[in-house]
Structure 1
Amino acid sequence: MAPADDAALNGLARAAADWDRLDSGLDSRTRVRLAARLGDFRAAGPGTERRAEAAEAVLRLLDEAEGGAGSRLAGAAVAPAGFTAEDLAVLVLDGHRMVGPVLGAVRERLLAAPAFTAPGGSPGPGDPYDARLIRLRAAGGGIILPAFQFRGPTDAWPAVLSVNELLDAPRDPWGVADWWLSPNGWLGTAPASLLGSGRDAELADAASYLMEPVDLS
């Protein structure tokens, strides 16, 4: 990759790290244009001229929104550790905040788990999946449902539905998916690995523990 391409990618990563400030200054027209350019960026292959051009176009748009004449984001400053150019596409196109050195790694891990593709963006007519199931927005905006939730095609584990409802999976799908797929000190393993093992009551108890108020006195 040419140095100019590296600078553009670094600029997008810096924009992702500074997104709260940048986002507050964007009007609706700029948001639409930004989404289109980031769509081009995501669709282009790594190291391609199209990808570099799209990255540079994104930086120009952000700079113009701040009243600049040339992209300050593409300067020599290094992006904060753990932020990537793809993080900006996630923020703008996918509409969630699973980015950066901690949440970005969680996002990649959860999206790498086996999953089914949902027929629509949200529960509704023609969608065979229960509304209580975890839905994650993957790269490109597609919706996936982690496969651990099912004992058969479209047939969810009852324990999953009850725990997801308790933890409010529709509101916090990433957090609930991480709970299911991460090692749990109380259970001695990842909760998802216990589905079908006869330990459903323990799953519900472990989830209930998260909902108990914390005494800070």
Structure 2
Amino acid sequence: MNPDAVLAAAAAAWARVGAGLTPADRAALGEELSRRRAAGPADHRAATERAAGLLAAALPEEFGAGGRSVAVPVAESGTVAGFTADDLAVLLLDGSPMAGPVLTAVRERLLAAPSVPKSELAGRERGLILLPAEDGPRVPRFQLAPDGMPRPVVLTVNRLLGAETDPWGAADWWLSPHAWLGSPPAALLGTPVEVQLPDLADLLTEEF
């Protein structure tokens, strides 16, 4: 199995693979993935091979003997069950679950929305959605009023949606078209309709 496929296989089985790594192994793998992410074409392959070698040494039952014990189909491109080597960096370095053949598209769509770096909030990010990204946590801009302060209604809705533990799900609720509203809830902020948003969020989370 080629090194890209080894990393892709680790991403595809990350719940099991990640649990099998020691803190030292995770740190070492993270360092190589960081180098791989930042590397130019000349160094990218070497970083990929080193990261794959770390996995083979740390988890020989999973990735020993060329990784053949990973019982999932491997495409010629090095993808495994739709996962790529880049997905492993998303899972480990960014701490984001939004990887793989389905969730990558959702992650890219949400990260494409206007945002500001967390550093620009100067400690005002409490209660806001923070999306992990390659260049650091991003704060979707819709949460901020024109003066840069968090919108009170956003803080209320984020609390109802559990944005602290599920920032991606909360961001998707805000930024996706809503069947009842006819538009994404974020588009209604600053309009008279925004007063309805907490009730809609409460209906979503109500236990029956």
TM-score (norm 1): 0.84
Per the TM alignment, residue 94 of structure 1 is displaced from its structure 2 partner at its CA by 1.0
Partner of 2:37: 42
Residues 1:148 and 2:142 are matched in the alignment? yes
Partner of 1:77: 74
Partner of 2:102: 102
Per the TM alignment, residue 9 of structure 1 is displaced from its structure 2 partner at its CA by 2.5
Alignment of 1:11-90 (within 5 A): 11-45=6-40, 48-67=41-60, 71-72=66-67, 77-78=74-75, 79-90=79-90
AA partner of residue 103 (structure 2): L
Could you list the runs of 5+ residues in structure 2 that have no partner in the other structure?
A: none
Report how many aligned residue pairs link the two structures: 200
User: Would the aligned equivalents of 1:35 and 1:92 in 2 still touch at CA under 8 Å?
Assistant: yes
AA partner of residue 174 (structure 1): W
Correspondent of 2:156 among 157, 162, 168 = 162
Per the TM alignment, residue 49 of structure 1 is displaced from its structure 2 partner at its CA by 2.3
Higher helix proportion (structure 1 or 2): 2
SS at the partner of 2:119? coil
Alignment of 1:165-204 (within 5 A): 165-204=159-198
Correspondent of 2:203 among 179, 185, 209 = 209
Superimposed CA distance per residue, residues 119-142 of structure 1 (whole angstroms, 9 cap, x where no aligned partner): 28xxxxx834241111111114x1
Alignment of 1:107-126 (within 5 A): 107-119=107-119
In 1, the alpha carbon distance for the partners of 2:82 and 2:114 equals: 25
User: Would the aligned equivalents of 2:12 and 2:81 in 1 still touch at CA under 8 Å?
Assistant: no
* Runs ≥4 residues deviating over 4 A: none
TM-score (norm 2): 0.87
Tell me the C-alpha RMSD between the 2 structures.
2.2
Superimposed CA distance per residue, residues 81-114 of structure 1 (whole angstroms, 9 cap, x where no aligned partner): 4322211001111112111122221111111111
AA partner of residue 161 (structure 2): L
SS at the partner of 1:116? strand
In 2, the alpha carbon distance for the partners of 1:128 and 1:27 equals: 33
Identity, in percent, stands at: 44
In 2, the alpha carbon distance for the partners of 1:49 and 1:131 equals: 41
Per the TM alignment, residue 171 of structure 1 is displaced from its structure 2 partner at its CA by 1.6
Superimposed CA distance per residue, residues 49-85 of structure 1 (whole angstroms, 9 cap, x where no aligned partner): 2111111111111111123665427x98333443222
User: Would the aligned equivalents of 1:110 and 1:178 in 2 still touch at CA under 8 Å?
Assistant: yes
